[in-house]
A and B are shown apart, each in its own frame.
Chain A
Amino acid sequence: MDAQPRPADHDPLSVTGLGAAEGPCDPTPWLRQRKLRKFMGRQDDLAVAAAGRALESAGLGGAGLGERAGLYLAVGFIPFDGDELDALHAASAVDGRFSMRRFATEGYLAPNPLLTFRCLPNMPAFHVSINFDVQGPYLVTYPGAGQLYAALEEARIALESGAIDVALVGGVAHQRNFLVEHHARRLGRPSEALEDAAGVLVLETAARAARRGAVTRARLLDCAAGYRPWDPRAETRVLDDRFEEAGLDLAGFGAASLPVALGGLPPGRHRHRLASGDGIEAASTWEIA
């Protein structure tokens, strides 16, 4: 299986904004409602910061985007911290063993009541939507680097059909936590290679970008993805994404890899190839301005 690049059917889409965030980051400069800060986990912080930076670089900072803007976001594996599990277990154990009876009366009350909000995979999209007033269509997909290409494809359909004027396309991965590191360890991959990161692109049609005088930072020239089916009941998942782009080591960035990569490329034509651990192979060509 090999991904066969396909030229864009329409005028190339323009990247008019790029934003990235890594590690612990502070999203408060972009929060419209500070009261929602307590609901935010790291993946939410990262997504809001990356989207805020991308919009600012596109000259759209501070503007409510409204109905003509869509969000296409690939979200990494569900994060779950060991501290929360410890609290849950400690309050649910009898003689050191998990007790359903104690869990049902005490244990389930032990974790922070806001925990659910902080780990749900649709919450980064919620926080981006509310802070930048995105009311348009969306795709929220999960969990690998390959899914970013699915998000990109959906955004292209929406932009080229005229359904929206602006697409935020990005990925976010909170991976330095107990659960995701556990996934990596059991599959033989060093958890130290994992990064907490988000990257967001602002995509527009070339005509729309020109009309509003936006600076085109890159153009999407072609894009395609293929897939090798595999049996999760017989094969161990290979949690090992491989990227081909000179000078970039992006395997630890998960769903954020492509937008993070684009932010680091010098001017010129670049081919980005991905062989993801979930069987997706994808390739795209970008003209960096």
Chain B
Amino acid sequence: MRRRVAITGLGVVSPIGLTVDTFRESLLAGVSGVGAISLFDATGLPTRIAAEVRGLPVRGRDRKIDFALEAARQALDEAGRPRGAGGVSLGVGLELFSLDDVAAARTGDALPAALGERLTFLQTPSDLCVHAIAHRYELRTPPLVHVSACAAGTDAIGAAFRLVASGRRDWMLAGGTDSMINPLGVAGFCRLGATSTANARPAAASRPFDRARDGFVLGEGAGVLVVEPLDEALARGARVRAEIVGYGNSFDAHGISEPHPEGRGAWQAMARALQDAGVGPEAIDCVNAHGTATPKNDPVETAAIKRLLGARAAEVPVCATKSMIGHLISAAGAVEAIATVLGLEGGWVHPTLNLDDPDPACDLDYVPHKARAHRQRYALSNSFGFGGQNAALLLRAWDARR
């Protein structure tokens, strides 16, 4: 029998807040975390803006490890340690980030000797994040490392949900971490023409669903959730933040860099999440969109949502967290799931910034500019990856009477 699954702890490191409380306040206030890149000298690159995490001490050169450890600490501090054997399921970004290491390796220069400093491009396979978390919290079940591109954070939470619901894990830390704001990362996206070049107006650069959108803005950060069986959470007196009730994922099986034109894969992922939960589209009260602000994603996601919700689509608020924090790639789905939980708890939908002139092909209610009070029971959180990997989570507001 499938167990009900609760979220009992949240941890976030984001460009608009280093705690869940500050993240929530920034979401409600519509704060943009986008600015000029300060982590390296981006002068000369077509894109020179990003949403950086500021104010968090970083011990090693691989920023995403520190992000993940901090988010995990926050989540477990809040939840307390659930009973039984824990595990970790994390979407993790690539290790390609340290160009000076590349130069050193090819010219015969010595690489840094200290182990902490050696956590760099040539010495850090990305999965070290999960081992660092597992070691710190003595998590003795095999970790899961998800590399499904921009869907990885959502897939990581979905996999944890399935493992806990099926009784194969007692509890899990689940989420994602990433930082691609480095020379190779930013230049790689520039080479693909994927990122916004609105360098003169950083706060206005991330424009999901807007006619003037010109690509995504890179962000960085981590989000981690404590996921455990609902009955166990209640028995130990933990605060239940929300329930995970459904998860679906799919392949577009269509194009390498463009989504299926009718949003087939995106629709399949959302429909499977609903089917998994045993609820119909009439139950959906809000959608946290993938909403990248790329020319191709936004209308296709809109079409998929319309297919899913039918005539109700126009009534259901759809918001894009990336308008504030940029695209956190492997961490995006995790941080956006946390934004969704906060909205479910608080009875509001955060705004989609910079939506001044909606694309005619994007004709839903995207909650432009200002947050809105909106009571919700069920909310979807979408993530669609480069390469046609799509994932959706269905979350339910916690109600002790249910």
Are A and B a genuine interacting pair, yes or no? yes
Q: Which residues of A contact B (CB under 8 A)?
A: 1, 36, 39, 67, 71, 75, 77-78, 80, 82, 85-86, 88-89, 92-93, 96-98, 100-101, 103-105, 107-109, 113, 116-117, 119-123, 125-126, 129-130, 133-144, 146-147, 149-150, 153-154, 157, 161, 179, 182-183, 186, 225-234, 236-237, 278-280, 282
Closest Cβ neighbor of A32 among chain B residues: B253
In angstroms, Cα B186 to Cα A154, docked, is 33
Q: Which of B99, B136, B159 contacts A139 (CB 8 A)?
A: B159
**Chain B residue contacts of A89, Cβ below 8 A:** 102-103, 106-107
**Chain B residue contacts of A138, Cβ below 8 A:** 148, 249-251, 389
CB <8 Å contact, A140 and B142: no
CB <8 Å contact, B143 and A122: no
Q: Is B29 engaged at the interface, CB distance under 8 Å to the other chain?
A: no
Q: Which 9 pairs, one residue from A and one from B, show the smallest C-beta to C-beta distance?
A: A104-B44, A108-B187, A98-B103, A129-B251, A126-B387, A232-B128, A121-B147, A229-B134, A105-B44
Beyond the given pairs A108-B191, A143-B126, 18 more chain A to chain B contacts, judged by CB atoms under 8 angstroms and listed by A's residue number, are A77-B125, A108-B188, A120-B149, A121-B147, A122-B148, A122-B385, A122-B387, A129-B252, A138-B389, A140-B148, A153-B163, A157-B166, A161-B166, A183-B123, A231-B131, A233-B132, A279-B134, A282-B142
**Chain B residue contacts of A232, Cβ below 8 A:** 119, 128, 131-132, 135
Q: How many residues of B contact A (CB 8 A)?
A: 75
With A139-B155, A139-B159, A182-B105 as given contacts, are A130 and B147 in contact (CB-CB < 8 Å)? no
Please, what's the 1-or-0 string for B91-134, where 1 marks a CB less than 8 Å from any CB in chain A?
01011100110110111000000011001001101111001101
CB <8 Å contact, B131 and A85: no
**Chain B residue contacts of A136, Cβ below 8 A:** 250-251
Q: How far does the Cβ of B398 sit from chain A's closest Cβ, in whole Å? A: 25
Q: Is the interface of A mostly helix, strand, loop or mixed?
A: mixed
CB <8 Å contact, B149 and A143: no
CB <8 Å contact, B146 and A140: yes
CB <8 Å contact, A101 and B115: no
With A136-B251, A139-B155 as given contacts, are A234 and B146 in contact (CB-CB < 8 Å)? no
Q: How far does the Cβ of A223 sit from chain B's closest Cβ, in whole Å? A: 11
**Chain A residue contacts of B139, Cβ below 8 A:** 227, 229
CB <8 Å contact, A103 and B135: no
Q: Which of B40, B132, B253 contacts A231 (CB 8 A)?
A: B132
CB <8 Å contact, A141 and B115: no
Q: Is B311 engaged at the interface, CB distance under 8 Å to the other chain?
A: no
Q: How far does the Cβ of A177 sit from chain B's closest Cβ, in whole Å? A: 13
In angstroms, Cα B45 to Cα A103, docked, is 9
CB <8 Å contact, B272 and A150: no
**Chain A residue contacts of B146, Cβ below 8 A:** 139-142
Q: Which of B123, B141, B168, B183 contacts A157 (CB 8 A)?
A: B168
With A126-B387, A154-B159 as given contacts, are A135 and B147 in contact (CB-CB < 8 Å)? no
CB <8 Å contact, B140 and A141: no
CB <8 Å contact, B41 and A134: no
**Chain B residue contacts of A161, Cβ below 8 A:** 166
CB <8 Å contact, B43 and A104: yes
**Chain B residue contacts of A116, Cβ below 8 A:** 188, 191-192
Closest Cβ neighbor of A82 among chain B residues: B106
Q: How far does the Cβ of B48 sit from chain A's closest Cβ, in whole Å? A: 9
Q: How far does the Cβ of B57 sit from chain A's closest Cβ, in whole Å? A: 15
A-B contact list, 28 entries, CB within 8 Å: A67-B250, A77-B125, A85-B102, A92-B99, A97-B103, A101-B44, A104-B44, A108-B187, A120-B94, A121-B147, A125-B251, A125-B389, A129-B251, A134-B253, A135-B251, A135-B265, A138-B249, A140-B389, A142-B92, A142-B126, A143-B125, A153-B163, A157-B166, A179-B122, A227-B87, A229-B135, A232-B135, A278-B127
Interface-central residue, B42, B95, B103, by most chain A CB under 10 Å = B103
Closest Cβ neighbor of A126 among chain B residues: B387
Interface-central residue, B125, B141, B183, by most chain A CB under 10 Å = B125
Q: Which of B87, B147, B183, B268 contacts A142 (CB 8 A)?
A: B147
In B241-261, the 8 Å CB interface with A consists of: 248-256
Closest Cβ neighbor of B139 among chain A residues: A229
CB <8 Å contact, A137 and B125: no
